[in-house]
Structure 1
Amino acid sequence: MGEAPARKKIIIDTDPGIDDALAIFVALNSPEIEVVGLTTIYGNVYTTLATRNALHLLEVAERSDIPVAEGSHVTITAIQLDPEFPRKIGQIVILGGAFSVNGNVNPAAEANIFGDPDAADIVFTSGSDILAVGINVTHQVVLTDEDLNQLAHSKAKFAQYVCKILGVYFSYHHEAYSMQGVYLHDPTALLAAVDPSLLTYTEGVVRVQTSGITRGLTLFDNCKKKYGELNEWLHKPKVKVAVTVAAPAVVRLVMDRLMQE
């Protein structure tokens, strides 16, 4: 028998966050990967609280051996501080963007990109191996009331914990989207890193609008047309953008790994 494939080492950049908590728990119960650290950033909450929440989740998981590094409290162009960064890492999986659909902060912008459009544009054009998982995909992945009921009947530690925090998330989705369920944004992006075959992708150039009414808009160029004049899209590196997802498989994996005792 051959040797088992090496576990993929990942760092989770997070602002927990309810579905961030689900993603972290799923990651810790994913044998394919090794979580070597968490980094924190502002978004759902301020950076200091994100750090506190991340440390708390690791305590719940009894994984306080995993280090947590606190990120910036303000907008920052991270990659500009270290131009070699794109060549130091394997891949960046981004939960962010709304490709050819409305955003969730406003009709133009998705929340993570809207939080720092300038930094997002730098990352998308950095030359790193990038996979963007936008809400055009994550809105297909829904945890239902029945799924929540199954979690509630599980004796697993993670299942019991998430049931305590999911109530407010379900209430928000009912109010904002008139739906009986919640979108699994972060867990979908996490599982894209674990098993890329769960999604399909297209490749092209992504730029981010950094000002005006469409600030935070992610625009995808499929690079199939050669334009006659110079523009700000030319000679930019291509990235992968998720276009479809095996939603039932993703939900099943999330459920199984949250209920793993």
Structure 2
Amino acid sequence: MGTKLIIDTDPGVDDAFAIALAAVSTDVELLGVTTVFGNVPLATTTANARRLLQLCDRTDVPVAAGASRPLVYQAARRASGVHGSDGLSGQAGSLPEATRPLEERDAVSLLVSLLEAADEPVTIAPIGPLTNIAALLAAHPGVRSKIARIVLMGGGVARGNSTAVSEFNIWADPEAARRVLAEDDVPCVMVPLDLTHQCAVDGAWLAKVAASGSLGRTLEAFTSEYRAHYRQVLGYDGIVMHDAVAVAEAIHPGLLRTESFPVTVDTSAGPARGMTLVDRRAVPVEAAGRPVDVAVDTDVDKLRDFVLSRLAGGR
């Protein structure tokens, strides 16, 4: 069947592209989707995830709601200024209503049951704050052997977006991120801002998505407020589809080139809170954290074509 995959998400415009990418890929066995607070509050991220799966005709995929706040300290703000108040540039109402009921069990319970039932290790793609994944690893250590790898979108090597040095998903719950990235032993791929910005797409690419069919038209319609933000960031009409880059790697291992570096997360209350500290020294001396595969490069045209062809219904 291909890659067994679970997505943990906070939709979010780029999350919508990522969910659709996995949902329509016939070489992916999408076992479940779990939701977390992040770009917008939990109730909204959960509704968006369910309705996005309905859009993709994936009523077979269970959705469970997870953490509504960080493990320790409440975040100071959300990303609604980037994604719009409903997470989808004000266009969430265009999505069909979900017919599959929300799971009564919480996200961690669903994750445990899916992992325990799997007959081979499962890839988890967390593309929001890492609260649910940290809780899973802390409370259910026995499932580690059922996780093939964690491919997460988050962090930055030399840049931030929520602060000068901190990327949003990590900044939203640094304690959870530290647990997953620096203090556990499950194989982990970190897809940072540095790489996702290299994979930005322009208005012409988005026009091709819109022209590809009804799914593409709906996804492109979600980008209006997101594009307004990224016009300022990029200096041209386009977007950074952060989460779709990570899910592309989860689907197609090796699409991104990675290098192993010790990584830890700053959990102090100071200005570096949420910073991912990637130790790139040739010979680290008392390096903090543990080795993480950090995505550093890709064939950008191939990556863009991969996402576009899948969203357009190709393989």
TM-score with structure 1 setting the length: 0.90
Greater Cα shift, 172-181 or 206-215: 172-181
Distance 2:253 2:205 in 1: 24
What secondary structure is seen at the aligned counterpart in 2 of 1:55? helix
Distance 1:105 1:201 in 2: 24
Does 2:220 correspond to 1:145? no
Does 2:275 correspond to 1:217? yes
* 1:109-162 per-position Cα deviation (integer Å, ceiling 9, x unaligned): 0010001001101101200010000011000012211112222333x2211211
Distance 1:167 1:43 in 2: 19
Aligned to 1:3: none
Written as runs of structure 1 = structure 2, the 5 A alignment for 1:178-197 is 178-197=235-254
Residue 184 of structure 1 and its aligned partner are, at CA, apart by 1.6
Distance 2:140 2:254 in 1: 31
Written as runs of structure 1 = structure 2, the 5 A alignment for 1:65-76 is 65-76=60-71
CA RMSD of aligned residues (A): 1.7
* 1:182-239 per-position Cα deviation (integer Å, ceiling 9, x unaligned): 1121111001111122211111221000121100110112474363xxx572xx5322
Greater Cα shift, 81-90 or 21-30: 81-90
Aligned to 2:35: 40
**CA gap 1:175/1:90 in 2 versus in 1, 3 angstroms:** same
Aligned to 2:163: 106
Gapped regions of structure 2 (runs ≥ 5): 72-133
Give the count of matched residue pairs: 249
Q: Do the aligned partners of 1:205 and 1:223 also contact (CA within 8 Å) in 2?
A: no
Aligned to 1:123: 180
Residue 8 of structure 1 and its aligned partner are, at CA, apart by 1.2
Distance 1:150 1:232 in 2: 45
**CA gap 1:88/1:116 in 2 versus in 1, 3 angstroms:** same
What secondary structure is seen at the aligned counterpart in 2 of 1:241? strand
Distance 1:158 1:144 in 2: 18
Does 2:77 correspond to 1:82? no
TM-score with structure 2 setting the length: 0.75
* 1:23-57 per-position Cα deviation (integer Å, ceiling 9, x unaligned): 11111222221111000001111111111111111
Selected match of 2:296 from 232, 239, 243: 243
Aligned to 2:99: none
Aligned to 1:253: 306
Q: Do the aligned partners of 2:210 and 2:218 also contact (CA within 8 Å) in 1?
A: no
Gapped regions of structure 1 (runs ≥ 5): 1-5
Q: Do the aligned partners of 1:86 and 1:126 also contact (CA within 8 Å) in 2?
A: no
What secondary structure is seen at the aligned counterpart in 1 of 2:141? coil
What secondary structure is seen at the aligned counterpart in 2 of 1:84? helix
Q: Which runs of 4+ in 1 moved over 6 A?
A: none
Q: Do the aligned partners of 2:10 and 2:37 also contact (CA within 8 Å) in 1?
A: yes
Distance 2:217 2:178 in 1: 39
Distance 2:263 2:59 in 1: 37
Q: What residue identity is the alignment partner of 2:6?
A: I
Q: Do the aligned partners of 1:10 and 1:33 also contact (CA within 8 Å) in 2?
A: yes
Distance 2:231 2:284 in 1: 45
Residue 80 of structure 1 and its aligned partner are, at CA, apart by 1.9
Q: Do the aligned partners of 1:145 and 1:180 also contact (CA within 8 Å) in 2?
A: yes
Distance 1:142 1:239 in 2: 24
Residue 87 of structure 1 and its aligned partner are, at CA, apart by 2.8
Aligned residues with identical type, % of pairs:
34
Q: Do the aligned partners of 2:279 and 2:287 also contact (CA within 8 Å) in 1?
A: no
Selected match of 1:51 from 36, 46, 54: 46
Distance 2:263 2:216 in 1: 37
Distance 1:191 1:232 in 2: 30
Q: What residue identity is the alignment partner of 1:18?
A: V
